[in-house]
Structure 1
Amino acid sequence: MKNQTVVGHGGQTSHVGESPFLLPLFGTFCALSLWGMWSIATSPLRKYPGPYLARYTNLWRLYHITRGSFHKVLQDLHKNYGPVVRVGPNVVDVDYPDLIKTVFSIKEDWKKTEYYLASSALVDGHIVYNLFSQTDKHKHAQEKRPVAKYYSLNGVLPLEPHVDKTIRQLCSELESRFVDGNAKKPCNLGDWILYYTWDVVGAVTFSQPIGYLSHGCDFDGTLKNAEKALDYFSWVGCIPILDHFFDKNPIYRIGPPGFSGITGVSVKHLIDRYQGNDKHYHSPENPDYLDKFIEAKQSNPDAVSDAQVISWLMINMIAGADTTAITIRSALYYSMKTPRIWQRLRSELAAAGLAKDSCPVSYKDARAIPYLEAVVRESLRFLPGVSLSLERYVPQGGAHLSPQTSAEYVPEGTIVAFNPYVIARNKGVWGPDAEEFRPERWLQAEGESEEDFQARLRAMNNADLSFGGGSRVCIGKRLGLLQVYKVVATLALLYDIELVNPDKEWTIINSWFPRQEGLEVRMSKRA
């Protein structure tokens, strides 16, 4: 084929086929193509099975995560391919419970990936990390050390009066809207549980609930913004570089709705506390987290600034409510779906001597009831508060994925992911009925020796990723559990609750935190 001659301005001619740009572009394209094919052909992960597109691009994973059911997709992949599935060019998802304590260890040799960075914030042109998004283990430890004691059980128990007050308000709102004079009026209990957990966070952090219970709705839009922010975090984490073009863009931010409202609330409460303008709702006799954080600053003036205090307050506000609500909803929904479980729970609460005048039930009394603990543990297992995969980099020297064989080797820099939802259905740990909600698995079975039960319980505890693991275990775990035990026991004691559509399954949208929709109930006071 002859080159086409083109006459340009000034009578100059050029030959399209001889353009100085086409040959370099064609060469670059060929080189990139050959490099891509060579990388795929020689990748040390090529032996691991998985979806065809996943070996070429993370867009495959991004697509499925945006659909809100990636935990189910992964579960099916592991059923088809086995315990190691390749879900990205450099990512393998692993269903080896025995490997958890190695990867999620106190030493933190397996570093967090860039997936978590999207939960940071851009402030004055600088990225500000928090306890969740900080991938540097030394900086994470430095930020956590001054406040860790406040999240221990001894640190959390003094906050119980704030939780009691919020539970009383929850019950008052439910009774006035759905019980007294409104018997059998349908109630979206899932929404009210979320209002409760967010108001508890406000109460324990500032001694003042945010106001969702009193308004009976997402009055300031924060809850909807939180959902959008989690959607963004889940999606952009698959291709972390995108976060720098969207949310962390220093020129023009295109990211999700931020938490400017919550930030403003945190700053205002800090100023009011310094100036003594919050005495009408805050009492030093009932300290809150703001008191404790200011105490940490006073004890470590060189290491803790007001900006650090705001960061701690924000972690409380943003990360302390949704996962707690998820567990409470699951405990109520799955128990009521199986009337045998719901009736046994209520019977054992009564057998423990708890009555209506015991409400709100104390944490001490609630934790003393084995079957309630079994229901809570099973709820955490059946639908973990985080149901997308937790990613870590393989450390220097590489690693063998299976303790039983040296064949499954991956080099350093490979991303190894554990999905809490998938791990929680491993039949080697949880038994052949792993996909059934059965609280009794957490209790000693009839005829089971104490030694066998303790061994089985250890195996289940070691495979539990409902709060993460190692040095990165959720710092608010004990506060969340305190809320769960107390409110589930209180609602079960005070009310007859039944599902509006007991045969209809609720909807779960997995966006880092799984959002449950469809906890519609009718309520009445127990006789």
Structure 2
Amino acid sequence: GKITRIGPNSVLSSAPEVWIHVNTKPGYKRSDWYFKAVRVEYQRDNIFSQADTEKHDATRKKIAPGYSGRENLELEGSVDTRVVAFLSLIRTKYASDNRQPVKKMDLAKKIQFFTMDVISLVAFGTTFGMLDRDKDIDNFVKSSEDGLLIGNKFMALNLGWLVQAPVIGRFLGPSVKDKTGFGAMMRECFRYIDERVENAEKGGEERRDMLASFYRHGLKGDELRSEVLEQLVAGSDTTAGALRGIMLHVLSTPSVQRKMQEEIDAVCAKRTWGDGIVPQAVVKQMPYMQAVIREGLRIWPPVLNLLPKDVPEGGDTIVVDGKKCFLPGGTCIGVSTLAMHHDKELYGEDADVFRPERWLIEADQEKLAVMTRINDLTFGHGKWQCLGKPVAQMEINKILFEWFRNFDWAVAKPHKPWRLTNAFGLFLINDFWVRVTKREA
């Protein structure tokens, strides 16, 4: 069924109505055992790790305007600059024109450079410059992946508490004293944040980015540093995972790549935005492109965390497939994201197949509405919904359009397209080698 017991006091459900209920009914709270173990900094919470609901809600209220774009007027322009940098890197270093030897490119790595550059730029107005240098600067990316793998082992051995233990914990995580890696990134981030805050306190020029918005809404000191640092981690890995999954399935289905390019070419033929990067609003009106994105997120959800919540004191009765089920207070309930998005009752017997056309069912708007509502759960729900959703959607829409507008793509090693590891429900993907060819005008 759609709910199963996975431990003495833990259950797992793939029913979307259950997960919506859990994320909206008052009283449910994040499970300490999981969220405390995924802190970015030793014994310091951020919006993702905060298990105290009141504190979470207070912080969310302060940072939500910065994520939404209402106070970050340069958001789309910032994303555009990194899209341009990505296209330039491909053209100058990796793309062939059918008259040159083929060069392979590790798309997994370049996508991570792209998402890191974007989130650093929209977060505090300066980019890490990984695309410009085609380099994992100071091993930021590698150390982040290593940290996830180590943390994954600690959790598997039920040693997550050790990372937060007094005295011991501070020596197990990254430090601003580190010369390279995540600790070095923390040091650079904190230095820049402190400079910006000092400038603001002296009445200097006000910027229109996330950092400025957070500061205006009352985040100060360590709390401000923690939220900026968290968005760098969460905002790059998840979006990168989504883009990699979409690209693998598109490149493995030539008919989909062809249909995407036909739709893109038709839109470009009556282009109204000049010679620049396609506006987000244009891509959102492209039916097939949106079907590809939704299908990519369905078949390959970028986050498979259980995201566990604790049932309120006194217990709660949930409904699964029309049947009532009582959960005692304190029961830990998690979501089975993959099972939810591969449900054959909703998507049919080919639920495990990448088929964007399933989203183009104009004759059954009721079913489409249900599918869309469930697909949106990829980003969470209610007050626990991912705040970075608008930024992630903008990155995905724009870069996919421009990739297929400018280049033809093929997987270099179809027999083994990439190297994959699951850590904390995040896919760590490397060696996604592709061949890129410039499209003829």
Instruction: State TM-score, norm by structure 1.
Output: 0.74
Of 419-428 and 267-276, deviating more is 267-276
Partner of 2:255: 340
**Distance in 1, Cα, partners of 2:322 & 2:214:** 48
Contact 1:118 1:236 in 2 (8 A): no
String of CA shifts for 1:268-322, please: whole Å, max 9, x gaps.
1123324559xxxx986x722222223223xxxxxx3222221221122111111
Partner of 2:110: 192
String of CA shifts for 1:96-153, please: whole Å, max 9, x gaps.
2221211121x44221112111122555xxx211100111111001111122122225
Partner of 1:523: 436
1:264-343 mapped onto 2 (5 Å cutoff): 264-274=187-197, 287-297=208-218, 304-343=219-258
Deviation at 1:183, TM superposition (A): 4.8
User: What amino acid sits opposite 2:412 in the alignment?
Assistant: V
Contact 2:417 2:433 in 1 (8 A): no
Contact 2:114 2:131 in 1 (8 A): yes
Partner of 1:205: 123
Of 170-179 and 472-481, deviating more is 170-179
In structure 2, relative to structure 1, the CA distance for the partners of 1:518 and 1:133 (3 Å cut) is: same
**Distance in 2, Cα, partners of 1:122 & 1:330:** 29
**Distance in 1, Cα, partners of 2:434 & 2:321:** 48
Partner of 2:44: 128
1:168-183 mapped onto 2 (5 Å cutoff): 168-179=84-95, 183=101
Contact 2:65 2:71 in 1 (8 A): yes
1:372-411 mapped onto 2 (5 Å cutoff): 372-404=289-321, 408-411=325-328
User: What amino acid sits opposite 2:436 in the alignment?
Assistant: M
Contact 2:113 2:131 in 1 (8 A): yes
1:502-517 mapped onto 2 (5 Å cutoff): 502-511=414-423, 512-517=425-430
**Distance in 2, Cα, partners of 1:436 & 1:526:** 28
Structure 2 SS opposite 1:145: helix
Partner of 1:76: none
Partner of 2:140: 222
Gaps of 5+ in 2: 176-181
Partner of 1:147: 63
Structure number with larger C-alpha Rg: 1
**Distance in 2, Cα, partners of 1:232 & 1:116:** 16
Select the structure with the greater relative contact order (CA < 8 A; seq sep ≥ 6).
Answer: 2
User: What amino acid sits opposite 2:408 in the alignment?
Assistant: D
String of CA shifts for 1:231-277, please: whole Å, max 9, x gaps.
2444444576x233234342464535464222212221123324559
Gaps of 5+ in 1: 1-81, 298-303
**Distance in 2, Cα, partners of 1:463 & 1:491:** 24
Of 93-102 and 194-203, deviating more is 93-102
2:80 to 150, 153, 164: 164
**Distance in 2, Cα, partners of 1:417 & 1:238:** 16
In structure 2, relative to structure 1, the CA distance for the partners of 1:137 and 1:100 (3 Å cut) is: same
- Identity among equivalent pairs (%): 27
In structure 2, relative to structure 1, the CA distance for the partners of 1:226 and 1:252 (3 Å cut) is: closer
Deviation at 1:477, TM superposition (A): 0.7
In structure 2, relative to structure 1, the CA distance for the partners of 1:365 and 1:251 (3 Å cut) is: same
In structure 2, relative to structure 1, the CA distance for the partners of 1:239 and 1:151 (3 Å cut) is: same
Structure 2 SS opposite 1:221: helix
Structure 2 SS opposite 1:471: helix
In structure 2, relative to structure 1, the CA distance for the partners of 1:459 and 1:497 (3 Å cut) is: closer
Partner of 2:179: none
Contact 2:82 2:114 in 1 (8 A): yes
Deviation at 1:487, TM superposition (A): 0.5
In structure 2, relative to structure 1, the CA distance for the partners of 1:118 and 1:175 (3 Å cut) is: same
Instruction: State TM-score, norm by structure 2.
Output: 0.88
1:426 to 323, 334, 343: 343
Deviation at 1:357, TM superposition (A): 6.5
**Distance in 1, Cα, partners of 2:73 & 2:289:** 19
Structure 2 SS opposite 1:85: strand
String of CA shifts for 1:155-179, please: whole Å, max 9, x gaps.
4563111111111111111122112
Partner of 1:262: 185
Cα RMSD, aligned residues only: 2.6
Partner of 1:14: none
Contact 2:419 2:432 in 1 (8 A): no
User: What amino acid sits opposite 2:438 in the alignment?
Assistant: K
Contact 2:66 2:209 in 1 (8 A): no
In structure 2, relative to structure 1, the CA distance for the partners of 1:479 and 1:472 (3 Å cut) is: same
Partner of 2:4: 85
User: What amino acid sits opposite 2:352 in the alignment?
Assistant: E
Partner of 1:11: none
String of CA shifts for 1:3-52, please: whole Å, max 9, x gaps.
xxxxxxxxxxxxxxxxxxxxxxxxxxxxxxxxxxxxxxxxxxxxxxxxxx
**Distance in 2, Cα, partners of 1:296 & 1:122:** 22
**Distance in 2, Cα, partners of 1:515 & 1:252:** 25
User: What amino acid sits opposite 1:335 in the alignment?
Assistant: V
String of CA shifts for 1:483-502, please: whole Å, max 9, x gaps.
11001101110112222133
**Distance in 2, Cα, partners of 1:412 & 1:233:** 29
